[in-house]
Amino acid sequence: MLILGVESSCDETAAAVVEDGKKILSDVIASQVAVHSPYGGVVPELASRKHVEAILPVIAQALEEARVGAEDLDAIAVTQGPGLVGALLVGIGAAKAMAYALGKPLIPVSHLEGHMHAAFLGQTSPRESFVCLVVSGGHTALYRVDPDGKNHFLGATRDDAAGEAFDKVAKLLGLGYPGGIEIDRLAVKGNPHAIAFPKAFMEKDSLEFSFSGLKTAVANFVRHHGLPAGENESPSYRIEDLVASFQETVVDVLVTKTVRAANLTGTKDVAVVGGVAANSRLRQRLTGAAFEHQLNLHLPPLRLCTDNAVMIAAAGFTVWKRSGFCLDPLELDAVSRWHV
């Protein structure tokens, strides 16, 4: 079954053709990083406008690279939510129009379910139920996912998502946007144990997260010790140590809770997906923890951690297999909040 996936929930316009939820025939992403970077974060109206410019060329390129014509597709899967409504509507509008004009089924996909499907697109895939940590700029939540793709919520952040904490700390330190990758790069040269930051909800059995206190702790640290490149010419710390310590605190919590979720649910397979799953230290620590606790760890390739349309096409295949759920193209609307 050939599915065209379309994704436009935030700041990437993406389209991909995937066969039977597994075989990637094309994977096209038009990033808006350069557009939002001067503002230090995503500007929703600018995002919508850029999606309008990019959506048709991106879809055309995805079909061309896959060497398929639009009429060869079996279905079109599109991110329905959650995300920025104006941004979502661009992808939805294009997918709806194509489905209607071609007489093809339209499959609505949750962005989160899309991220979870990246777990099946790495070097190894879960075969049984697995614990999935979705950790991105918008979400930090644990689920148990069944082989048919159905998921069960286990716990989530009460405030900031982990990626949001990365981005806010990076902004505070003047490291640019998106901040996660910058912190990752800089932290490699730092001492992760240089500064002790607070970790929330570490008590037994909690599967909740909180990162806003950590962000405040970093802001307080900087207030007391000076900004790395601010008026204070020689701060009493190395920026590399600061970001490495911040990152280690986030990673500690994410690894602990993922292992805990596996233990509490008696699950041997775990996957970590979403933009922050691209973090090198997180991947390293997860690999160590999986070895120590004898867990089968599934990590998507880096490109499929951050937003892409391959995961939407793959999830679309599962949604269709599970429920045959397709919409009349004229019925579909964007959903800004969506609890999977």
Please report, as ranges, the residues that interact with ligand KG4 according to CB under 6 A.
10, 136-138, 163, 166-167, 178-181, 184, 274-276, 278-279, 306-307
Distance CA 96, CA 192 (A): 48
Q: Is 111 annotated as a binding residue?
A: yes
Two structure tokens written together for 301 = 């390739």
From 56, 43, 42, 45, select the one nearest 13 (Cα to Cα).
Answer: 56
Residue 184, contacted partner among Zn ion, ligand KG4, none, CB below 5-8 A by kind: ligand KG4
Q: Which does 278 bind (CB under 5 to 8 A by kind): ligand KG4, Zn ion, none?
A: ligand KG4
Question: Does 138 appear as a known binding residue?
Answer: yes
Complex with ligand KG4: residue 33 or 202, whichever CB lies closer: 33
Least separation, in Å, of the C-beta of 316 and Zn ion?
16
Which one of ligand KG4, Zn ion, none interacts with residue 11, CB within 5 to 8 A by kind?
A: none
Among the listed ranges 54-62, 87-95, 217-225, 305-313, the one in contact with Zn ion (CB under 5 A) is 305-313
149 is in an annotated binding site: no
Round to whole Å and give the CA distance between 211 and 43.
23
Binding at 82: pick from ligand KG4, Zn ion, none (beta carbon under 5-8 Å per type): none
Does position 136 interact with Zn ion (CB under 5 A)? The reply is: yes
- In the complex, least distance from residue 225 CB atom to ligand KG4, rounded to whole angstroms: 23
- Residue 214 interacts, among ligand KG4, Zn ion, none and using kind-specific CB cut-offs from 5 to 8 Å, with none
**Buried/exposed code over 132-165 (b: 16+ C-beta within 10 A; e: otherwise):** bbbbbbbbbbbbbbeeebebeebbbbeebbbbbb
- The smaller minimum CB distance to Zn ion, of residues 250 and 259, is found at 250
Q: By CB under 5 A, is residue 307 in contact with Zn ion?
A: yes
* Closer by beta carbon to ligand KG4, 99 or else 161: 161
Choose among ligand KG4, Zn ion, none what residue 276 binds, the Cβ cut-off being 5 to 8 Å by kind: ligand KG4
Nearer to ligand KG4, 60 or 302 (CB): 302
Q: Long-range contacts: 42-46, Cβ < 8 Å, 24+?
A: 42/10, 42/11, 42/84, 44/84, 44/86, 44/87, 45/86
Q: Is 293 assigned to a binding site?
A: no
Closest CA to 111 of 308, 328, 331: 308
Nearest approach, Cβ of residue 134 and Zn ion (Å) = 8
CA dihedral angle for residue 102, residue 90, residue 29, residue 100, rounded to 10 degrees: -10
The answer for residues whose C-beta is within 8 angstroms of residue 279's C-beta and 6 or more apart is 180, 184, 247, 251
Closer CB to Zn ion, 153 or 291, in the complex:
153
Q: Phi and psi (nearest 5°) for 136?
A: -140, -165
For residue 280, what are the CA distances in angstroms to 133, 169, 183, 184? 16, 18, 10, 7
Residue 137 annotated as part of some ligand binding site: yes
Exposure string (b/e) for 222-244, b if CB count within 10 Å is 16 or more? beeebebeeeeeebebebbbbbb
| Residue 181 beta carbon to ligand KG4: minimum distance, rounded to whole angstroms | 4
- Contact set with Zn ion (CB under 5 A): 136, 307
Binding residues for substrate: 134-138, 167, 180, 184, 279
